């Protein structure tokens, strides 16, 4: 563990010539060092990893240790936190209701001067009210607490992976941020013809895959996305096969895309969360080492995977885990600020 911690620190400082890059040429970026030894000891107190004789650590436990280390590493410099929506801050297929425990965590981050954004695949061009329906409990809390604009300005919603950015106005409603204020030059140059071509190709691949897998589906077509919802019960692996089929089919696409397994559907969006995060970070003036993305889908068919190319991440399995790490994050931020105050 000590060796891995040392290697990660070396890699974060010089990724081109690090030991990790020589041992694992495909290794990605680490935007912060990771105090893995400290995290291991903390988790060990709960899970007795070092005292087991017959049961090795499983993947979830390794994920927890790395998440704890990442929280400790980034808390002091944190300036932007982005959250996936479904499966991360609320259960799949639900919305943020007023009793959602993440509301208090989000508001506390904003009150500390930390930007918070929700990055969701859901996209509703020209209709902010549909985004408001998904986050109604959070917006109601803003209004009930009469949060000042100096606080609400720290909240944004990124919809359609990277296609729509919304902010809170002085009536606690969501409104679109004009595209030319935040989109990159490349994003603004995506043509409608190119978008239609990509979505047509994606729809054809979804049709072919659903026929091959003998799965009746309902198609959903939007200006920047196309997807399928099964008409009958199916299993995760079938949806996984469909998502990967589209990824392979579109590998030579001229436009960036995200084909992902949503757990109960499969969708293809124009762009991805890497592009959305990059544009948001530039718009807010934030760096990778002070940005954290929290999500539940970092597998090859998950739409959070792309975020790894932009900033540090936490991989959670459900909203309860998100709440745990949010509490840990707040505690670390408080301790960091207390230390600065004492000094």
**Positions marked active-site:** 84, 86
Residues 91, 243: Cα–Cα separation, whole Å: 21
Alpha-carbon distances, residue 158 vs 68, 81, 124, 166, 330 (angstroms): 26, 12, 11, 6, 23
DSSP collapsed to 3 states, the chain: CHHHHHHHHHHHHCCCCCHHHHHCCCCCCCCCCCCHHHHHHHHHHHHCHHHCCCCCCCHHHHHHHHHHHHHHHHHHHCCEEEEECECCCECCCCCCCCCCCHHHHHHHHHHCCCEEEEECCCCCCCCHHHHHHHCHHHHHHHHHCCCCHHHHCCEEEEECCCCEEEEECCCCCEEECCHHHHCCHHHHCCCHHHHHHHHHHHHHHHHHHHHHCCCCEEEEEECCEEEEEECCCCCHHHHHHHHHHHHHHCCCCCCCEEEEECCCCEEEEECCHHHHHHHHHHHHCCCHHHEEEEECCCCCCCCCHHHHHCCEEEECCCHHHHHHHHHHHHHHHHHHHHHHHHC
């Amino acid at each position: 563990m000590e060796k891995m911690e040392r290697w990660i620190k070396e890699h974060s400082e010089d990724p081109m010539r690090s030991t990790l890059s020589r041992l694992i040429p495909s290794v990605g970026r680490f935007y912060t060092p990771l105090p893995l030894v400290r995290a291991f000891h903390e988790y060990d107190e709960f899970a007795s990893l070092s005292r087991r004789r017959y049961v090795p650590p499983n993947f979830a436990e390794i994920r927890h240790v790395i998440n704890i280390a990442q929280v400790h590493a980034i808390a002091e410099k944190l300036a932007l936190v982005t959250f996936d929506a479904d499966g991360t801050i609320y259960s799949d297929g639900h919305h943020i209701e007023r009793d959602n425990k993440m509301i208090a965590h989000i508001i506390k981050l904003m009150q500390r001067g930390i930007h918070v954004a929700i990055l969701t695949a859901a996209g509703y061009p020209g209709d902010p009210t549909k985004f408001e329906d998904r986050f109604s409990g959070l917006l109601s809390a803003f209004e009930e607490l009469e949060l000042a604009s100096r606080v609400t300005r720290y909240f944004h919603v990124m919809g359609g992976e990277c296609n729509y950015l919304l902010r809170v106005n002085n009536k606690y409603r969501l409104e679109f941020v004009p595209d030319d204020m935040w989109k990159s030059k490349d994003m603004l140059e995506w043509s409608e013809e190119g978008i239609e071509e990509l979505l047509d190709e994606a729809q054809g691949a979804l049709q072919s895959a659903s026929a091959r897998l003998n799965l009746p589906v309902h198609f959903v077509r939007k200006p920047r996305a196309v997807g399928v919802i099964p008409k009958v019960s199916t299993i995760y692996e079938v949806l996984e096969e469909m998502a990967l089929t589209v990824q392979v089919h579109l590998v030579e696409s001229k436009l960036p895309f995200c084909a992902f397994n949503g757990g109960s559907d499969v969708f293809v969006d124009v762009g991805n969360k890497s592009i959305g995060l990059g544009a948001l970070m530039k718009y807010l003036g934030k760096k990778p080492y002070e940005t954290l993305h929290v999500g539940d889908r970092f597998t090859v068919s998950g739409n959070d995977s792309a975020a790894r190319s932009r900033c540090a991440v936490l991989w959670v399995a459900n909203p309860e885990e998100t709440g745990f790490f949010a509490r840990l994050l707040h505690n670390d931020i408080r301790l960091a600020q207390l230390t600065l105050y004492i000094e």
